[in-house]
Structure 1
C-alpha cells in the first residue's frame, strides 16, 4: 500500500547502492529470497530518488561509486538520521575500515565477500534496529535517565536534556544501553564487543574506540575531556553518570 506517496510494506526494506550491476543483482536476489523488499541504486543520485519513495530499514553502501563516493554519502546520511548502514569496499586496510566507522557506518564488509556472511550481518543489524512495531511490548516500558538524558530501550531512542532526539547508529545505541545497564562498572573492550557486536567490521579492537569517540561527541560537553564516559587505563571504559531506571 502507499501512504502520502511513499510505499508501505511489512517486509524489511533494503537499499543497495552499488554501481557493479552483477554484484548488486546477486545481493538483491539473495535478499529477496530471504523475504526482504530490495531496491538498487547505482549512485548517490539514484539513492536519493529511491529514498524519497520508500522508507528503508537498512542501506548496503559501496564506497567506490561514480560521483559522490560512499564515505561522503554515509556522512550525509548520518547527519540526517540513524538508518543502519553497511559499507562494501574492495579496499581492505584497517584505516579505511576505521574511517567508515568514524563517519557513522554500522558495519563494514570487504570484497570479495561470502554472500552468506553478508546476509547474516544484514540480518544482525536489522534485528538490533527494529522498532517497537515489530516487537511485543511489555506491560511497563522502562527508561534510563541520567543528567537530563533519556534512553528508551524499546523504541531505541535517545533524547538530550532539551528533549531533542539524538540520532545514533546501532552500535552507538547498543554501547550507551550497555553503559546505562552497568553504570559505575568498568567494562572491557572485550565485554563491549560481546554486547554490541561492534567487532563485526573486522578483527580490530579499535572499532570499539571509534564508536566510543562518536558517542562522546554526542554526550559530552567537551569530548576531549570526557566526564560521563571515562577511559580506564589498561581496563576499558566506565560510565560515571548516576543512572535511574524509571517507568515510561
Structure 2
C-alpha cells in the first residue's frame, strides 16, 4: 500500500496483504542467525501412504539425514528423508511376486548352466592334461603342448557347456510349469524336486527307463539341495 493510500484512508487489498506478509517472512528468514535451528526433525519426503498402508511390499521405513554431521555448517537444519529398508516397486504385482517369471527363469538357468558347465569342463580338461605322463620327445615342444591343452580343455568344455545348458533349459521349463499347475497348493520344495526329477529323467531317457528313473532320483535330490540353498540365497 502506497503513501497516498494511507493518507486517504484506503483499506489494503488481500493481495497486497499477502505480498506484505511474504516480504516480512522473507526478511525474518534473512535476519535469522546462521547457527540457529529452524525445524528439528523435519521429514522432507514421506512416500508412505497417509492411510497407514506402509511402503510397497511391506518394507519398513527408516530416516536418512543427508546433512548428518554437518548440520551446524549448513545452518543447523536437521532434515531427513523417509526411505524404505527393502526394495521399492512401481506396481503392486511386482511386489507380490515370489519368484522370477518363466522367461526370466529360462534365461537365468540356461545361461548359468552353459557358463558353469563350460568352466567345469575346461578345468577338467586341464586337469586331465596335467595328469597325463610325459610325452615323446618329438612332441614335447611348447607349441604342441599348448595345442593339446587347448584341444582337450575345449572339447570337454563344449560338451559340459551344452549338456548343462540343456539341463538348465529343461529345469526352468518344468519348474515354471509345475509351479503354475500347483498354484500354491503344493509346497515350493516339492515343486522344485518334481521339476528336478522330470529334468533328469528326460535327459537320460534315451538310455532306457531304468537309467531315466535313477537319474530322476538324483535330479530330485540335487534340486532339493537347490531349494535349501534358496533359503539363504533367494536369487538362485
TM-score category, normalised to shorter length: under 0.3
Greater strand proportion: 1
Greater gyration radius: 2
Greater helix proportion: 2
Structure with the bigger RCO (C-alpha within 8 Å, sep 6+) is 1
Q: TM-score, normalised by structure 1?
A: 0.21
Q: TM-score, normalised by structure 2?
A: 0.22
